[in-house]
Amino acid sequence: MYTFKGGTHVTEHKNTSNAKIERMPAPATVAIPMAQHIGAPCRPVVKVGDHVDYGQLIGEAGAGLGCPVHASVSGTVKKIETRISAQGVPVEVIVLENDGLYTLSDTVHPFPKPLDEATPDEIVEVIRNAGIAGMGGAAFPTYAKLKSAIGKATTLIINCAECEPFITANHRMMVEHPERIIDGVKVLMRALSLDTALIGVEDNKPDAIAILRENAPTGIKICALKTKYPQGDERQLMYALVGKELPAGKLPADIGCVIFNTETVAAIWHAFYNGTPLCKRVVTVDGDCIGRPTNVKAPLGISYRDLIAYCGGLVKKPERLINGGPMMGNAQWDLDAVITKGSSSILVLSHEFCEKGHSKQPSACIRCGRCVKNCPMHLMPNMLVNLAMRRRFKDSESYNVMSCVECGTCSYNCPGGMPIVQHIRVAKASIRAAQAAAKMQETAQQKEKSKEVAKQ
Ligand code: SF4
Ligand code: SF4
C-alpha cells in the first residue's frame, strides 16, 4: 500500500461521491477576475460594450509568470471594476452579460497535428494559450510547471488523491471521463518525452481506480494510495509513490518529479483535442446548509450565490462558507465572490455542524504530543504555536515554521482545541512580510549607493 509517514484519518463526508456532474446553465452575468493564478494579474483586452464569444481571450498575461483569461459565456462586457477576491485582495474583474447563445469564439481550434507529431514546445504553447492553472487549488500556471520540468523530470505523477473531506469533483471526473484523464496524461508524457506515468488515487475511490485501470495503457500505472490526510499534498504523494523526500525550499522537479492534478490533466485534454481554453470547472457544492449537494460543471466567474441557488439554495442558517475543503480552504464572507480556476468546492456549514465537528473552545496545550506524532512534515506544531502566540516569529524559523504546508492535521487532532495552523499562518505571513521589507530596504540602499557612485 502506498502511503507516507504521519497524517491522520479525517471524517470523510464524501456525500456527493455518487452525484453525477451536472452542467448548469450559465447565469445572467459572470464576473471574471484577472488574477486567478499565481503570478502577475492579466491586463483586460476588451472594453465596456464589446461583444465577446465563449472562449475568447479577455485578459492577456504579461511577459512574466501569468495565465491568460477567457470569456466563460458569450455576451457583452458590462463593467470592468475592482472587487475584493476570495483571497481578500483587490482584483480587476470583467463583468459579462450572458446572451445565452454560447457562441464559440473563432479562435478555438484543436491542435492541428496528431499527438505524436507535436513538439514539447508546441504542447507548452497550447497549455499556455488555454490559460490552464493548477486546478487542485494552487493555481500555478501549468505551462510554466511543464516547461521547467522538460528535460529534468523523469517521473510524471498525476495527483488524483482528493484527500480533503467533502470534495468529490475529481472522483466524479475519473469515473465519468477516465479517457480524458488518460489521454491528457499522454499529452504530458509526449511533452516530457516519458514512456511512463503514475496516477495516485486514494483507495476510498475503488470505482475510479477500477475504471482508470480498464482505460490505462501499459506505461500508465494506477496506484491505490492508503486513504489518509494529507495524501494529496505533493510531498506526501511523492514520498508514497517514489519514496523521495523533497528538501525544504526545493521544487519536485529538483528531485526528478513533476505533478499535475486530475482536473488540470482533463483541461489539457480539452485544450489539445478541442482547442477550448479553461472556462469551466467541476465544483463540489456541499455542506448541511445546501438544499441539494452535488457536483456542478460551472462557468468560471459564477458567483457563490448563483451556484448555491442552482444546488437547492440554503436550507439552514449558515455559520461558515468555505472556498475549498474544510482542512485547507478559505473562509469566505461574501456570497458574490466567484468561482475561479482553483476553486474545487464550496461548502456551507451550519452552527450545529461546526459545533459537532471542531468547535472545542481553545484551552491550553496539555503536551500530549499528538500534533508532533501526526505532522506529515515532521515539525513540532506545539512549539510553533507556542512561539507564534508570543509573537516570537523569528525564533519559530529555527523550528522550520516555513516548512509547514498548512494542512491543519495538527489543529484537527489537538485535544486542547488549539488553533495551531491559524497561528502558524500568522507567523509565516509575518516572516514573509519582514523578508520582503528587508529586501526592499536592501534594494533602496543599493540604489542610493549607485547614485552616490554616479555623482563621484
Ligand atoms: S496536540 Fe495540542 S495539546 Fe497536544 S501537544 Fe499538540 S498543541 Fe499541545
Ligand atoms: S505543523 Fe503544519 S504541516 Fe504540520 S500538521 Fe500542522 S499544519 Fe500540517
pLDDT of residue 360: 58
With a 6 Å cutoff on the Cβ, whether 407 touches ligand 2 is yes
Evaluate: CB of 406 within 6 angstroms of ligand 2. Answer: yes
Looking at the DSSP assignment, which residues form a beta bridge with residue 294?
A: 285
CA neighbours closer than 13 Å in the CB half-sphere of residue 322: 25
Core vs surface per residue 204-223: b (16+ CB within 10 A) or e: bbeebbebbeebbeeebebb
Question: Are β-strands 294-299 and 155-160 bridged in parallel, bridged antiparallel, or unpaired?
Answer: unpaired
Q: Is the CB of 379 under 6 A from ligand 2?
A: yes
Q: Which of 456, 362, 373, 371 is nearest to 413 (CA)?
A: 371
The Å distance, Cα 407 to ligand 2 centre, comes to 5
The whole-number pLDDT of residue 86 equals 83
Pocket lining: 366 vs ligand 1, CB cutoff 6 Å: yes
319, 323, 325, 331: CA torsion to nearest 10: -50
pLDDT value at residue 454: 82
Among 358, 361, 366, which is best to mutate for testing ligand 1, by the most ligand atoms less than 8 A from CB? 366
Task: Give distance in angstroms: CA of 232 to centre of ligand 2.
Answer: 14
Q: Which ligand is nearest to the CA of 416?
A: 1
Single-letter amino acid, residue 244: K
Q: Which residues pair with 69 in a beta bridge?
A: 59
State the closest ligand 2 atom to the C-alpha of 406, by its place in the atom list counted from 1: 7
Measured from the CB, is residue 415 less than 6 Å from ligand 1? yes
Q: How far is the CA of 370 from the centre of ligand 1 (A)?
A: 6
Closest-lying ligand 2 atom to the alpha carbon of residue 408: 7
Query: Residue ranges of the domains in the chain?
Result: 21-273, 282-358, 363-456
Ligand having the closest approach to the CA of 399: 2
Looking at residue 267, what is its pLDDT? 98
Q: Output the pLDDT for position 358.
A: 56
Q: Which atom of ligand 2 is nearest to the CA of 377?
A: 3
Q: Which ligand is nearest to the CA of 424?
A: 2
pLDDT of amino acid 455: 79
369 in contact with ligand 1, CB cutoff 6 A: yes
Cα of 326 vs centre of ligand 2, distance in Å, is: 15
How far is the centre of ligand 2, averaged over its atoms, from the C-alpha of 394 (Å)?
18
What is the residue whose three cell numbers read 483571497? 87
Atom 3 of ligand 2, residue of closest alpha carbon: 404
Q: Name which residue sits closest to atom 6 of ligand 2, judged by CA.
A: 410
Rounded CA gap, 381 and 366, in Å?
13
Query: What pLDDT is stored for residue 63 in this prediction?
Result: 84
What's domain 21-273's superfamily in CATH?
Answer: NADH-ubiquinone oxidoreductase 51kDa subunit (3.40.50.11540)
pLDDT the model gives residue 174: 98
Most ligand 2 atoms within 8 A of CB, residue of 239, 410, 418 to mutate: 410
Ligand nearest to the CA of 419: 1
Beta-strand relationship, 21-23 and 57-60: unpaired
Q: Which three cell numbers stand for residue 168?
A: 468529490
Give, using CA atoms, the residue closest to atom 5 of ligand 2. Answer: 375
> Ligand 2: does its nearest atom lie under 6 Å from the Cβ of 182?
no
At residue 383, the 3 state secondary structure works out as helix
Is 282-358 a domain of CATH 3.40.640.10?
no
Per-residue pLDDT for the chain (456 aa), expressed as one digit of tens each?
899 999 999 999 999 999 999 999 999 999 999 999 888 999 999 999 999 999 999 999 988 899 999 999 999 999 999 998 888 889 999 999 999 999 999 999 999 999 999 999 999 999 999 999 999 878 899 999 999 999 999 999 999 999 999 999 999 999 999 999 999 999 999 999 999 999 999 999 999 999 999 999 999 999 999 999 999 999 999 999 999 999 888 889 999 999 999 999 999 999 999 999 999 999 999 999 999 999 999 999 999 999 999 999 999 999 999 999 999 998 999 999 999 999 999 999 999 998 875 555 667 899 999 999 999 999 999 999 999 999 999 999 999 999 999 999 999 999 988 999 999 999 999 999 999 999 999 988 888 888 888 877
How far, in Å, is the centroid of ligand 2 from the Cα of 346? 23
Backbone phi, psi, residue 401, to 5°: -60, -30
Q: CATH code for 363-456?
A: 1.10.1060.10
Can you give the pTM of this predicted structure?
0.93
Q: Does residue 423 have its Cβ closer than 6 Å to ligand 1?
A: no
The answer to whether 209 and 224 are in contact (CB under 8 A) is yes
157, 182, 306, 172: which is closest to 240 by C-alpha?
157
